[in-house]
Amino acid sequence: MPRRNSKLMTDPGIAKMAKLKKGKRIERFDAGAAGLALRITDNGTKTWCISYHLPDEQGRLKHHRFTIGPWAQPRGEEDLPEGLYGVASARGEARRIKALVRAGIDPKAALAAEQNERRTKAQKEARKTFEAIAENYIKIEIPKQRRGAETEAIIRRELLPPWGTRHTASFQRSDLTKLTDQLIAAGKPAAARRVYETATLLFNWALDRGDIDTSPFTAMKPPVKKVPRDRALKEHEITVLWAVWSKQAYPFGPLQQLLLLLGQRRSEVAEMLWSEINFQNQEWTIPAERSKSNREHIVPLSDAAVEILENLPRFGDGDFVFSTTNGRRPVSGFSKSKVRTDQMLAERKTVIKNWRVHDLRRTCRTGLAKLGVAEIVSERVLNHQVQGLVRTYNVHEYMDEKRDALKQWAGHVRDLIEPPPENVVRLQSPTATAKVP
């Protein structure tokens, strides 16, 4: 029952209430809902509250007061922001609270449960922002990937800045298309494809884990077709690049020289450890966990490769051969290194068009073929998976043949950068050129 001194309040009437004198505080009860009152203070604050009674542990009725929230005047038919109450919404909340009391439920306990539920829901939703999903992916999946550093760089450079705070449910295909279109327009189709591959992989991973309910990029076609590269450096290009690398500072100068001499994958050379190198036997062992073939791969080191390694600095904080963090982490930043290489070429008034760091591996493979090295030996040098019955039955590692092949290739590179006198003919080793059954 409404109190005798209560009146039926209206929002315009509340707005016209005069400001109280300093130190004054009053309550005005509303006849529209039992126990509902508007508390008014001398600074003009108006707050809805409700009085009710609940039995204590001894069964005696005890008076309680519950604060509903601040009053605010609605504007037209617009809903007030959450947590603000006009007359109508305050009455509705008062009736809801009274219904809880009649059911024997303490409104304060019910409110605490609701707030906890909302907080839990908000935390769950916060975990569905792109930033949260991406950071989780970086934490869990990147350490498992051979090219994880490159993938993480794409996420942080291309995806997190525009997408970070967005909820994953808000994404559409057009969001990814917008990013890839910008890269294609900037003349970077390969980068556009890598962004597409990274984004689709990340969303599919989150979908498989149940972190998100759907991926907008499922069955989405790549922005550009993957064009296989067939670029191998010409001999005069090798000569010029080698001269530039000889002037280029550690770590990228000697690193690129080794990429050319050994023909191994960029990530494998960049992540080389001193503990993997046996100088006495002139061998570098790439462990199975770092090898794309998932098996241990032994790379014979030519005299030229050994000389490069012996002249590299050693660090006290870690075992990585190529590092800018005192050996703690492997080197990264090949794109910047290539820019520097091209700048040094320009200073020499030389341009080598359309070359990439990966071309060094292809150049080595092409060079071995030109030197007459048997196909199976060349493939073993590059640690390519052998297919079919040969893979099943031929487990020979061709160590001698590989060693001779890389020795020949190093000798050929030496002849390009330091041509022998015209009256000197270097003999070709027969081992690697022999036909292998």
3-state secondary structure 57-80: CCCCEEEEEEEEEEECCCCCCCCC
pLDDT of residue 4: 53
**From CA 343, how far away is CA 337, in angstroms rounded?**
10
Nearest by Cα to 235 from 411, 408, 417:
417
pLDDT of residue 417: 93
Helix then strand then coil, % of the chain, to nearest 5:
50, 10, 40
Q: Indicate if the alpha-carbon torsion angle 404, 408, 411, 417 is positive or negative.
A: negative
User: Residues 237-249: what's their mean pLDDT?
Assistant: 95
User: Residues 373-393: what's their mean pLDDT?
Assistant: 74
| 8 Å CB contact between 330 and 273 | no
Is the pLDDT confidence value at 105 over 80? yes
pLDDT of residue 3: 55
**From CA 342, how far away is CA 337, in angstroms rounded?**
9
pLDDT tens digits for 88-97? 999 999 999 9
How crowded is residue 357: how many other Cβ atoms within 10 Å of its Cβ?
A: 18
User: Residues 327-356: what's their mean pLDDT?
Assistant: 90
**From CA 35, how far away is CA 248, in angstroms rounded?**
83
How crowded is residue 39: how many other Cβ atoms within 10 Å of its Cβ?
A: 16
Residue type, 107: P
**From CA 44, how far away is CA 26, in angstroms rounded?**
11
Query: Beta strands 61-70 and 283-286: pairing type?
Result: unpaired
- pTM summary value: 0.57
pLDDT of residue 385: 72
End-to-end CA distance of the chain: 103
Is the pLDDT confidence value at 437 over 50? no
Residue with the larger pLDDT of the pair 385 and 437: 385
**From CA 24, how far away is CA 35, in angstroms rounded?**
22
pLDDT of residue 295: 85
pLDDT tens digits for 145-184? 877 888 999 999 999 999 988 998 899 999 999 999 999 9
Nearest by Cα to 244 from 312, 343, 353:
343
When pLDDT is cut at 50, 70 and 90, the band that residue 108 belongs to is confident
pLDDT of residue 111: 77
Is the pLDDT confidence value at 431 over 90? no
CA angle 229/230/236 to nearest 5° reads 125
User: Residues 366-392: what's their mean pLDDT?
Assistant: 81
pLDDT tens digits for 36-81? 999 999 888 999 999 998 888 888 888 888 899 999 998 876 778 8
Is the pLDDT confidence value at 432 over 60? no
When pLDDT is cut at 50, 70 and 90, the band that residue 124 belongs to is low
When pLDDT is cut at 50, 70 and 90, the band that residue 241 belongs to is very high
Torsion of CA 192, 197, 203, 208, to 10 degrees: 170
Residue with the larger pLDDT of the pair 148 and 328: 328
Is the pLDDT confidence value at 103 over 90? no
- Write down how long the chain is: 437
User: Residues 314-339: what's their mean pLDDT?
Assistant: 91
When pLDDT is cut at 50, 70 and 90, the band that residue 412 belongs to is very high
| 8 Å CB contact between 85 and 69 | yes
pLDDT tens digits for 1-46? 445 567 899 999 999 888 888 888 899 999 999 999 999 998 889 9
